[in-house]
Amino acid sequence: MIRMLQLINQFFWTIIFLVRDETAPPAAPDQEVLIEIDADQNEAQPEVLQRIADDIPLSHIVSGLSKIIFSKENLPGIGMGAVLTGLSTGMNFITPWLFGETINLLASDDETAEIAGIDLSRQALIGLLIAAYTLAQLLPNLRDQAMNLVTANTTKRILKTGTEHLLKKSLDYHVNTSFGDQLFLMQKGFAVGSVATPLLTQVAPTLVEIAIACNLLSSRYGFAMGGGLFAMLVSYIAYGALTAKPIIDARTEGLTAGNEAFSNFTSAIARYKTIRDFGQFEYTMRGVDEALSRMTEANIVGMNKPLQIGLGQYAISRAGMLLATLYVGHGVVTKEYSVQDFVVVAGYLNSLANLFPAFGQAVNQLFADWPDLKFVFKELSKPDELVELHPDTHLVLLEGIAPTIEFENVTFIHAPKPGESDNSPLFENLSFTIQPGQKVALVSESGAGKTTIFNMLYGYYKPASGIIRINGQNIAEVSLKSLEQNISLLGQTPNLFKGTIRENICFGAANPDEVDDETIWALARACNLEAFLLSFKNKLDTQVGEDGKSLSGGQQQKVAILRGLIKRSPIRLLDEITASLDSQSATQILSGIDQMTDEGITSLMITHKLTEAKTADAIIVIHEGRVAAQGSHDELLATCPLYQQLWRSYHQQESLPSCSTGRLLTALGGPVQAADESSDEMTSEPLILSISENQYNERDANDEDSELSDFEGKSMRLGH
C-alpha cells in the first residue's frame, strides 16, 4: 500500500510539472542540484547558483518531498492511514449494497436476508446498515488523526532542514539579506509540511477507490459503466491540469507580495526607535499598508481562483453521476437491471460524488502549493556556504602554551553587495606575525578592515590568496569546529539573546549546562565585573530582554565580555569591547583581563582608544591593505606619521566634553583646540561633525540616554 502511495505521489507531481510555467527553460539532464564548492575559491560561481535557482528539476522536488514524507518516523502513521483508507474505501462499497439489500427485504415478504452466508432479520439488517454508515463516517476521522502525525513530522523536518541551511550560510549572506527574507523560508516551510495530508488522505485514496470501482462496476454492470467512471476521472484531472496555471500564477503573485509585506513590517518593527526619533510613523505605516494591501489583493485572488475553478469540477462529477444513473435507470426499464441495482449504483455514485469536492480541493491546493514547494526546494538545493572540508583535521595546540598567529601575503576581496560591481581588494599581500603569548593591537583609520582580519582568522571569510597560519598550520586545512573551539571572539556588538544574564554568559562555554554560578562569580571578580552583577536585583537571574534591550549598551557589553572570557580559548580576539563603556569601567575591565591572561593565551585587540593600545606588547598599523608599521607605542609615535596622526586625532576627540551630549554640541558649533600644546598648528576652527559610533557610545553604562542610543543603533542595524 505504501509503495502504491509513493507511485501515486510521483504520478501526481508529474502532472503538476507538465502544467507548470511553460516558459521556464528545461533543466540539463546531468544538472546536479548540490554543487561542490571549490576550496580555493572565495565563493561558488554565481551563474551556477542562479541557474539552479531559476530552474530546479521536478525529479529533485518529488525525490526530496518523498524522502521527507515517507521517512522512518512517518511510516507508522502512513501505514495506519493506509489501512484505515482501505477500510473506508470498502465501507463506501458496502453501505450502498447493504442499502439495496435492505430495500429488497422491506419490499418483499421474506423475513430474513442472507448476508455473507448469515440470515439476518429486517431489524438486524437495518442495524447493520446504520453501523456501516457510522463506520464509513468514523474511519476517515481516525485516518486524519493518524495523518496528523505525518503532517507534524514533515513540518518539523522541513523547518529543521531550513534552520540548518540558514545557519550554514556565509556571513555576507546574513549581513546582506534582511531578517524578514530569511524567515520567509521558514514560513513557507509550514506550507510545504501540510502537503502530505491532502496528498495521502484525499488524492491517493480517491484514486485508489476509483480504480477499484471501475473494476467492480465493469464486472457487474458492463464495461460502459466502468469506462464511464474512468472517463469522468480523466476529465476531472484533465480539467484540473488545464486550469492549474491560473492557480499557480495567482499563488506565485501572492508569494511575491507576501514576501514583500513580511519584509516590510518586520523591518518597520526593527526600526522602532529610528521611526520615533524622526517622526516617520505615518510614512512608515503608509509603506506597510501599501505592501499589505498588495498582499491582501493577491491572496484574495489566490484563494478565490481554486474555488472558482472548483465549480467546473463539481459540474463534471455531477454530470458523470447523472449519466451513470440514467444508464442504470434505462436498464431497470428494460429489465436488464433490478431496482436494487439502481439503488446500489445511485447510492455509491452519490457517495463517490461527495468525495470529489474534497478531492478537487486537494488537487487545487497541491497545484497552488507548487510555487511554495519550488521556492523551498530551490533554496534548500543551494549548496551550504560554510562547508567542513577537513572535518578530521584539528589545530595542534599544546595546553598552557600560547599559539603563534601568522598572516602571509594575504589578499582579500569582499563579495560585491547586491547591485554592485566587483570590489577592489581590501588587503593585498598583508603579512604579519604575532608571537606566542603576545597581546597585539591593530589600529588604523576607520574602514581599513581590522574586523575583517578577525573574521578571516575565525573562518567567516576566506582570503583570495595567501595563507593564515596558527602554530604553523594553514587554517584553510583545519576544521571550522576546531577554529571555533580555540578562538574567543569578543565583538563590539553584544548580540545577546532573550533569557537571563546567566544563560547569556554560559552560552560562551564549551558545555553551557555544566557551568555553575561560582565559576561565573569567580570570573566576574577576576575582571572587575562582580559589582556590576551585584547591581541587579535578581543578580544572574535578571532577564535581558529580546536582543538584550532591557539593558543599557554598556551593560550589554559587560555581559558579552563575560560570555567571551568564560570560553577560555588559547586565542582571544577583542574587537572594540570597551566602545560602549565609560573610561573608568573600561580601564578596570581591561586591567582585570590583563591580570587573568596567562602565558597560554595570544591576544589581538582592535580599539580606537589608543591609550588602550599603549598597553599592548606590540601595535600593528594597517593602511591601504598592508602593514604600514609595527612596534611599540613609543616607537611608532617616533617613526610612523600615520600613527602620529591617529594619536593627535584621538586626543582631539578626548579634549571634547566627557558626556556624549556635550561632545555633540561642541562638535556642532563650538571651537576645539588641539590637545598638543606644543604644536604650532593649534587652531580654533570648528570641528567637523565626524563622531564615530564607538566614540559617541563612550558613555556611562547606567546612563538612560546610553540605553536609548544603543537601542537606536541596534534598530538601524536590524533594518539595514
How many Cα atoms occupy the beta-carbon half-sphere of 433 within 13 Å? 6
Instruction: Enumerate domains of the chain plus CATH numbers.
Output: 57-381 (1.20.1560.10), 405-648 (3.40.50.300)
Give tens-digit pLDDT for 476-512: 888 888 888 888 888 778 888 888 989 989 888 888 8
Say which residue, 423 or 639, is predicted with more confidence. 639
Say which residue, 647 or 695, is predicted with more confidence. 647
DSSP 540: G
Give tens-digit pLDDT for 300-312: 888 888 788 878 8
Three-state SS for 567? coil
Cα–Cα distance for residue pair 586/662, rounded to 1 Å: 20
Cα–Cα distance for residue pair 217/223, rounded to 1 Å: 8
Cα–Cα distance for residue pair 526/544, rounded to 1 Å: 23
Give tens-digit pLDDT for 583-620: 788 888 888 887 776 668 888 988 888 888 888 889 99
Where b means 16+ CB within 10 Å and e means fewer, 276-285 reads: eeeeeeeebe
Among 1-5, 221-225, 709-713, where is mean pLDDT lowest? 709-713
- Asked whether residue 673 carries a pLDDT value surpassing 80, the answer given is no
Three-state SS for 671? strand
SS3 content of the chain, % helix, strand, coil (to 5): 60, 10, 30
The H or E element spanning position 11 is helix 2-18
Give tens-digit pLDDT for 317-352: 888 888 888 888 888 888 888 887 887 788 777 777
Helix runs in 546-659, H state only: 553-565, 583-596, 610-613, 633-639, 641-654
Helices 553-565 + 704-719 axis angle, to 10: 70
- At residue 52, the pLDDT reads 36
Cα–Cα distance for residue pair 116/95, rounded to 1 Å: 14
DSSP 546: G
Helix runs in 271-408, H state only: 272-277, 281-333, 339-381
Give the global pTM: 0.58
Give tens-digit pLDDT for 21-47: 443 433 333 333 332 333 333 333 333
Phi, psi of 602 (to 5 degrees): -105, 130
The residue whose grid cell reads 415478504 is 109
Say which residue, 645 or 697, is predicted with more confidence. 645
How many Cα atoms occupy the beta-carbon half-sphere of 500 within 13 Å? 12
Q: Which three cell numbers stand for residue 297?
A: 489583493
Rounded percentage of the chain residues whose pLDDT exceeds 90? 3
Give tens-digit pLDDT for 278-299: 777 888 888 888 888 888 888 8
* Angle 463-464-470 from CA coordinates, rounded to 5°: 30
Give tens-digit pLDDT for 200-222: 777 777 777 788 778 877 887 87
- At residue 494, the pLDDT reads 82
Q: What residues form DSSP beta bridges with 487?
A: 571
Most confident of 325-334, 418-427, 676-685: 325-334
The residue whose grid cell reads 603576545 is 438
Cα–Cα distance for residue pair 492/578, rounded to 1 Å: 8
Q: Which three cell numbers stand for residue 192?
A: 510545504
Where b means 16+ CB within 10 Å and e means fewer, 230-266 reads: bebbeebbebbeebbeebbebbbbbbebbbbbbbbbb
Rounded percentage of the chain residues whose pLDDT exceeds 70? 76
Say which residue, 313 or 563, is predicted with more confidence. 563
Cα–Cα distance for residue pair 211/396, rounded to 1 Å: 66
Q: Which three cell numbers stand for residue 590?
A: 581591561
Cα–Cα distance for residue pair 685/348, rounded to 1 Å: 96
The H or E element spanning position 573 is strand 571-575
